[in-house]
Amino acid sequence: MSNQKKKTLTPVQQEYQSFAQSREPKRSVVHNCFTAFVVGGTICLLGQFIQNFFIWQFGFTKETAGNPTVAVLIFLAALLTGLGVYDHFAQWAGAGTAVPVTGFANTIASAAIEHRTEGFVLGVGGNMFKLAGPVIVFGVFSAFVVALIKTILTSLGG
């Protein structure tokens, strides 16, 4: 709560605010980082196993195996989101589940499921990218700018 807002409160309310603050569970940054490291690392490890499986079984190369791996992880994340497991797990793991591509799939699947009651076109279709949209918009725009700069620089240099 901002200081400006605090001034308008009565003394009793102020007292309650500081009381509530002291009772808030402390979020330890170190502990959260450790959890994020282990969970995120494990998801990437799983990705590596899937990637090597594609290389050995289906003859993908190291460069092309990334795509089917991401697709499999997204499938797993959508399934676990539907079963209600992923969000429960994400609450505990923080960035460990949000940063890998599974977190991206989770935001899409959970938004789709959540807005299903509003209908398939306006609910599911309209809200699916509510959370994932910013990632795509900023990703595409920044990639566009960087690619434009690089292409112009190479055409000037060569």
Interface with other proteins in residues 22-41 (CB under 8 A):
27, 29, 32-33, 35-41
Site residues for other proteins, 34-93, by CB under 8 A, read 35-45, 47-51, 62, 66-71, 73-75, 78-79, 81-84
> Could you say which DSSP state residue 122 is in?
I
* Binding-residue total with other proteins (CB under 8 A): 75
The stretch among 3-11, 13-21, 147-155 that binds other proteins (CB under 8 A) is 147-155
Q: Which long-range contacts (CB under 8 A, 24 or more apart) does 16-25 make?
A: none
Task: Tell the smallest beta-carbon distance from residue 109 to other proteins (Å).
Answer: 4
Cα 30 to Cα 123: distance, rounded to the nearest angstrom: 39
Phi, then psi, of 130 in degrees rounded to 5: -55, -45
Q: Select from 138, 145, 81 the least CA-distant residue to 113.
A: 81
Rg (CA), the chain: 22
Which one, 17 or 66, has the nearer CB to other proteins?
66
Site residues for other proteins, 88-127, by CB under 8 A, read 94-96, 98-105, 108-109, 111-114, 116-117, 120, 124
Which one, 9 or 134, has the nearer CB to other proteins?
134
Helix (H) / strand (E) element for 119: namely none
Q: Which residues contact 13 (CB under 8 A, 6 or more apart)?
A: none
The stretch among 2-10, 18-26, 148-156 that binds other proteins (CB under 8 A) is 148-156
The stretch among 1-9, 15-23, 129-137 that binds other proteins (CB under 8 A) is 129-137
